[in-house]
Amino acid sequence: MRTVAEVARMIDHSLLRPELTTGDIETGCALAARYRVASVCVRPADVPLAATALAGTGVLVGTVVGFPHGGNATAVKEAETRLAIEQGATEIDMVLNIGRLRSGQLDDVEADIRAVVTAAASAPVKVILENAYLTDEQKIAGCRAAERAGTRFVKTSTGFADGGATMADLRLMRATVSDTVEVKAAGGVRSLDTLLAMADLGVTRFGATVTDRILDDLDHRLRDRDGWTAA
């Protein structure tokens, strides 16, 4: 079984709900630092706060671009990306243009993604497909456009549509992109068993809001396996 530290480094702790207060963001960043997860993913306006809160912790600051619908003009997505990087973001989760993808306008989809990848410079970009709105053929086309555009990850969902990550979608995405592109699951990753099953498919990053529940569950299981008594 994977260690707590290994699983923690696969989690992007999500702080994207619109009602979250400044105090909620600070509390979430403290939780992320305590568990030493890969990153927090915050709303764009919260990037400076998160960057300050997480300085020196080793936890990265991620944010979203074109969120949650993907319909922003490309120039707006570029500007969002550049500002986020200037303010301390080190990872970018962008929503591709869902309507253009559904319309079969793949050149537009690819150009939109490439513009964000360029604006992000060395910061990894995760392209959100929002699979709940797509056919399998559209998911494949979106993944391939994202890879051609130079993305580091393809991602299932924003967590704000009717459906989130599914095992079938993750298999399809992992089979569609090359080994140089990683797969992120988001939306519905609410238990350790779900996360581990998805990891077995080759998923390497997870968006989660119940990070502490997942990692505490793993800690308890490992203690039980090794004959420890959980405190």
Catalytic residue among 12, 46, 93, 169: 93
Catalytic residue among 112, 169, 184, 219: 184
47-85 burial, b at 16+ Cβ within 10 Å, e below that, comes to: bbbbbebbeeeebbbbbbbbbbebebebeebbebbeebb
Q: What is the DSSP letter of 179?
A: T
DSSP code string of 65-130:
ESTTT--S-HHHHHHHHHHHHHTT--EEEEE--HHHHHTT-HHHHHHHHHHHHHHHTTS-EEEE--
Establish whether 107 is a catalytic residue: no
Catalytic residue among 77, 126, 139, 155: 155
Q: What is the DSSP letter of 144?
A: H
Establish whether 93 is a catalytic residue: yes
Sorted by sequence, the CB contacts under 8 Å of residue 66 that are 6+ apart come out as: 72, 76, 77, 80, 94, 95, 96, 97, 116
**112, 158 in Cβ contact below 8 A?**
no
Establish whether 139 is a catalytic residue: no
Catalytic residues: 93, 155, 184
